[in-house]
Structure 1
Amino acid sequence: MSTFDEHKTHLMTFGTRIAQIRKSKDIKQQDLADTVGTSKDMISRYERDAISPSIDMAAKIAKALNTSLDSLVFGIDLRNDSRPLTTKLHEIETLPTEDIHHILAVIEAFITKNRLQQILK
């Protein structure tokens, strides 16, 4: 991929990335909708960025497209990144949704704590 193409990928929206990946895999909107348990109209709305899916739906879409959620959100696929934190993030993605929400709450608490410590210095 050329530098121009990489830059263009980063400028794309979440919905545009869904459409691009879906089309590259020759998957029809209806087929994707059936796989993730929604309607063709909702997939169309996501792809047009008319609405944003819930985190749960976004994860289902990523799984159905055999891509990572980070590639849909950021345009960067970190699945082959071997750094320890990235490795743990991949493991977390496989957990039940409720567990993921708890982990995110703990992470947010640590981030807030760190920010407060920085302010108090």
Structure 2
Amino acid sequence: MTQQALADAAGVHVNQIKRYEAGNAQPTLEALVGLARALHVSLDQLVFGETERGPSDDLRLQFEAVSHMADEDRRIVKALLEGMIVKYQTKEMVGNLSS
């Protein structure tokens, strides 16, 4: 895609695209949304690197399913998840202390 085509699709001036690519300017949130739509990617894919993004696809689907549960069920899932995270962090901390 050319800079002009991207600018047209995102609703920004081509000079802004050139500034973004050169690192001389940072896009506004509105511009980022337009760029993400023009590139057919999510905003987080545009902004974050692969390792900086949220949960993997399988966990994302599970979190989405949990978001549709009743409040009480969501609280239970959250408590279970928090317990597992604490268990993991404790195990890691103990392992680092014994190293």
How many angstroms apart in 1 are the aligned matches of 2:11 and 2:34?
9
Runs of 4 or more above 2 Å deviation: 76-81
Give the match's secondary structure for 1:82. Answer: helix
**TM-score of the superposed pair, with normalisation by structure 1:** 0.43
Alignment partner of 1:69 out of 32, 38, 43 = 43
How many angstroms apart in 1 are the aligned matches of 2:21 and 2:62?
31
Q: Which has the larger radius of gyration?
A: 2
| The 10-residue stretch of structure 1 (75-84 or 33-42) with the greater mean CA deviation from structure 2 | 75-84
Structure 2 residues not aligned, in runs of 5+: 68-99
Greater relative contact order structure (CA < 8 Å, 6+ sep): 1
Q: 1:11 is matched with which residue?
A: none
1:84: Cα distance to partner? 2.4
Correspondences of 1:40-119 after superposition (within 5 Å): 40-76=14-50, 80=57, 81-84=60-63
Structure 1 residues not aligned, in runs of 5+: 1-26, 89-121
1:83: Cα distance to partner? 4.1
**TM-score of the superposed pair, with normalisation by structure 2:** 0.51
The CA RMSD measured in Å over matched residues stands at 2.6
How many angstroms apart in 1 are the aligned matches of 2:37 and 2:11?
13
